[in-house]
């Protein structure tokens, strides 16, 4: 077995106070934020699919149990005390609006991660699929790939303007799926459904599918049914659910 997925508990830190130190627009709907502060020293996130909870301030007293959302840690420096996050911007979202408009030096708090699923070893091949909410996790998986890796990545975004800079190894095919005006997840579901049993790479394949909840059945049908991958070698989950 060239790789395993090991689920580990974490020493839970409920809240680390930090300040917004930088904001970078990567696409018209995607932001990278840098948080910094002494309490982020020692922060670590061993799993590419980890989540932390970002707590926003309510009033003048700092972060409380108010608006919050889960995000995937992208990069960090546990010695210097900073953490990079990427967020999808959508009008009317409390966290999204804060990410767009909060002044630099605004105070927030970071909770978690509560646990990690850690990829140990090297898969023979990779299959990663997600929407824009899964891009940080996909970035982290790509960073773990050796130069000789091969596989396929599918990412659904609204249109070409929303494609982020992502360069996998030469043997990993990256396909951007543009949903246009279709409901989120529909285009990605169709792309996953179009992958047949004969396209399964040889050897031990790592499969990761994370997007709007409606994509989950298609991900399981491909990885567990058509490709017969052991569930313990895959991660398939809904990162969010579209309001009907």
pLDDT digits (tens, 9 = 90+) for 1-26: 589 999 988 776 778 999 999 999 99
pLDDT digits (tens, 9 = 90+) for 168-186: 999 999 999 999 999 999 9
CA distance 126 to 115: 23
Helix (H) and strand (E) counts in the chain: 4, 14
CATH number of the domain bearing residue 17: 2.40.30.10
Are 22 and 72 within one domain?
A: yes
Mean pLDDT check: name the lowest of 62-66, 74-78, 90-94, 228-232.
Answer: 62-66
Given 115, 139, 154, which residue is the final one in a domain?
A: 115
- For residue 49, what are the domain limits? 3-115
Are 142 and 100 within one domain?
A: no
Closest CA to 111 of 36, 13, 10: 13
Are 180 and 217 within one domain?
A: yes
Are 12 and 87 within one domain?
A: yes
Give how far Cα 8 sits from Cα of 5, 113, 120, 181, 184, Å: 10, 11, 12, 40, 31
DSSP 39: G
Are 127 and 205 within one domain?
A: yes
Count: domains in the chain: 2
Given 60, 92, 115, which residue is the final one in a domain?
A: 115
Output the six-digit token pair for 89: 């911007």
Are 34 and 52 within one domain?
A: yes
pLDDT digits (tens, 9 = 90+) for 31-66: 999 999 999 999 999 999 999 999 987 555 555 556
Give residue for tokens 């031990």: 204
Are 61 and 27 within one domain?
A: yes
Residue 59: what pLDDT? 54
CA distance 155 to 211: 9
Are 104 and 184 within one domain?
A: no
């Amino acid at each position: 077995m060239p790789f395993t997925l090991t689920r580990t508990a974490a020493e839970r830190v409920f809240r680390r106070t930090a300040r917004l130190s930088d904001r970078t627009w990567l696409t018209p709907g995607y932001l990278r934020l840098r948080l910094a502060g002494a309490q982020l020293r020692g922060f670590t996130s061993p799993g590419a699919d980890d989540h932390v909870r970002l707590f926003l301030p309510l009033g003048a007293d700092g972060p409380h149990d108010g608006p919050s959302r889960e995000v995937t840690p992208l990069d960090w420096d546990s010695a210097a005390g900073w953490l990079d996050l990427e967020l999808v911007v959508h009008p009317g979202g409390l966290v999204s609006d804060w990410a767009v408009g909060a002044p630099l030096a605004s105070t927030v708090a970071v909770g978690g991660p509560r646990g990690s699923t850690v990829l140990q070893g090297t898969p023979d091949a990779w299959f990663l699929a997600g929407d824009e909410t899964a891009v940080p996790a996909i970035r982290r998986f790509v960073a773990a790939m050796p130069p000789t890796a091969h596989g396929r990545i599918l990412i659904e975004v609204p249109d070409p303007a929303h494609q982020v800079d992502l360069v996998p190894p030469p043997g990993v095919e990256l396909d951007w799926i543009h949903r246009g005006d279709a409901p989120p997840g529909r285009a990605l579901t169709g792309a996953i459904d179009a992958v047949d049993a004969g396209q399964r790479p040889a050897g031990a394949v790592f499969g990761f599918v994370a997007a709007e909840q409606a994509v989950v059945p298609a991900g399981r049908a491909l990885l567990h049914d058509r490709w017969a991958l052991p569930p313990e070698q895959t991660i398939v989950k809904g990162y969010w659910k579209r309001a009907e």
